Amino acid sequence: MLQNTKISLVDSTEKLKSLEKILINFRTDDHFHKLCNSASLVAESIQLDPDFLPEPRRRRRNQFDYQRGEETLLSSKDSFRINFFLAILDRTIQAIRERFEQLKNYTDIFFFLHNVPTLNDMPEEQLLQKCKILESKLTNLSDEECPRDIIASDLCREIRLINGFITKEQTPIEVLSFIHRNSLTSEFSNLSIALRILLTIPVAVATGERSFSKLKLIKNYLRTTMSQERLNNLALISIENTVSQTLNLSEIVAEFAAAKARKITFL
């Protein structure tokens, strides 16, 4: 789901929260016993011993060990659960929290723009406060002369105004398309900038993975040397193959031949 090209910032954050909850639920004893029972069935189906290794033998204490505390030896099953199963789960949960912490921060800032048609029901002070937070995050505080990308008061006014032209089912990309399709960029300049930033925040690495997979098909042993510009153009054509198939190659070749013609016309 996270590799889907159409997934939004809010949806990806919700999926990550669900994944984190699932991994936390895996830490319960009931789930561990269920996994052990499933593993035992698989082991029996391939004719392997489903039992854990025998418990370690208790070391006999001699007369000089009176100062030591009582040793607690875990069974093989408990040792596997604590030292391996829970350890991997804890590392995975911690890695998810650290890796997607920035994504959660972006969601907290841009979340209100995910449902622009419903913002008309939000109180004026609350909406203005969210717009001010977004304005501060998009403003370079170290450079006082740098112009602001958006103005909070104007963004709040534009959100109130555009709700009279859109329906409650429209997504952010549909709202942005409505603004550009009707040439309303100057009237909703702040909202247009905010939506463009929201829609261009990288959510997943699926686009990068597809680009590298295309490069494997383009730059093979038959094309070992080529310029960077040609490589970029070939990759773009390969990625956008649905658009390239609609082009008229005859007209493109004729236009290219006319532009590169080296014949000299003598009078």
* Interval 163-187: pLDDT, tens: 888 887 788 888 888 888 888 888 8
Q: Are residue 124 and residue 83 in the same domain, yes or no?
A: no
| 84 plus 162 within the same structural domain | no
Q: Is residue 210 part of a domain?
A: no
Assess whether pLDDT exceeds 80 at residue 222: no
The answer to whether residues 88 and 136 belong to one domain is no
Q: Are residues 17 and 83 in the same domain?
A: yes
Q: According to the model, what pLDDT value does residue 56 have?
A: 60
Same domain, 91 and 175: no
Q: What is the mean pLDDT of the chain?
A: 80
The whole-number pLDDT of residue 234 equals 83
Clarify whether residues 95 and 116 are in a common domain: no
Q: Is the predicted pLDDT of residue 64 greater than 60, yes or no?
A: no
Helices and strands: H and E segment counts in the chain: 13, 0
CB atoms within 10 A of CB 92: 14
- Are both 137 and 187 inside the same structural domain? yes
End residue of a domain, out of 164, 180, 200: 200
Q: Rounded to an integer, what distance in angstroms lies between the CA atom of residue 147 and that of residue 129?
A: 20
Has residue 151 got a pLDDT over 80? yes
Percent of the chain at pLDDT exceeding 70: 81
Question: How confident is the model over 188-219, as pLDDT tens digits?
Answer: 889 898 888 888 877 766 655 666 666 777 77
Residue 260 maps to a domain:
no
* Domain count along the chain: 2
Q: Which domain holds residue 17?
A: 9-50+75-99
Mapping DSSP onto H, E and C, the string for 136-201 reads HHCCCCCCCCCCCCCCHHHHHHHHHHHCCCCCCCCCHHHHHHHHHHCCCCCCCHHHHHHHHHHHHC
163 and 141 within one domain: yes
Q: Evaluate whether residue 145 is within a structural domain.
A: yes
